[in-house]
Every structure is written in structure tokens, then in C-alpha cells.
Amino acid sequence: MPFIPKRPCSVAGCREFAVRGGRCAQHQKMALTEYRKTTNNLYATGWWQRTRAEVLRRQPLCAECAKIGRVTPATEVDHIIPHRGKRELFFDRSNLQPLCHSCHSRKTAREMAGAGGRGL
């Protein structure tokens, strides 16, 4: 395994060293906590609850399953382009698609792997 040199944390004033991602372990954890607070608050809004119900009512079948000819009820509403906390992407109705739980889990896992497991 190649040696990865430690670098200073990218957060101004921090004197710790970062192994990966530009931030020390403490600041990585803080960033993830703040991200979760932001996104959890967005999913708790009345707008999201109403929009989610409307998407599932108008399109009751999984969009991914339909592409391969499978008929599966949609149970989740997915952001086609991951919003990563960006409000304009989160609230864009054209960025939403209905998916079954299985397809949504698979898509989310691919996105997380593509983000280096950070989810951000």
C-alpha cells in the first residue's frame, strides 16, 4: 500500500493533520454532522412531505424497474442528481423520480462509493 503523506487540516486555524479528504478526523465528523442536520431538516419540511406524496401518487411505479420492463411499486422518491445539501437541487421537482426500495438503495450505494464514501 502506498504511503500517503499527512497534510495540514484545510480548516483555517486547525493545527491537526489530515490523512484523507483535506480535513482532520474531528473536522470531517463535524462536517458530516452539519450536513446531516441540514438534509434532515429539508426532508422534515411540509413541502417535501407533500411533494413526495404527489410524486408517488402520479407515478406509482419504479422508474428504474420500468426501464427493464419490470413492474414494481415505487416506495421512495429519489433525487436524480444528488442534492448534497444544495437547496436548489433539493427543491427542483424535475430532479425527482419514484423508485422502489431496492433500486433506491442500489443507486444511493453507487453515489456514496463515487463520493469516496463521504456522502458529501
- Residue 2 pLDDT > 80: no
Global pTM reads 0.67
83 vs 51, which has greater pLDDT? 51
pLDDT at residue 85, rounded to an integer: 80
C-beta separation of 78 from 99 below 8 A: yes
Which pLDDT score is estimated for 52? 96
Closest by alpha carbon to 72, among 118, 103, 109? Answer: 103
Higher per-residue pLDDT: 93 or 40: 93
The secondary structure of 19-56 as a DSSP string is: SSTTS-HHHHHHHHHHHHHHHHHHHTSHHHHHHHHHHH
Confidence of residue 80 (pLDDT cuts 50, 70, 90): very high
Q: What is the pLDDT of residues 97-118, one digit of tens each?
A: 999 999 999 998 998 877 555 5
pLDDT number for residue 26: 76
Q: Which pLDDT value is given to residue 36?
A: 67
Residue 86 has pLDDT above 90, yes or no: no
Q: How far apart are CA 30 and CA 86, in angstroms?
A: 18
Grid cell digits, residue 27: 473536522
pLDDT greater than 70 at residue 120: no
What pLDDT shows up at residue 6? 72
**pLDDT-derived band at 50, boundaries 50, 70, 90:** very high
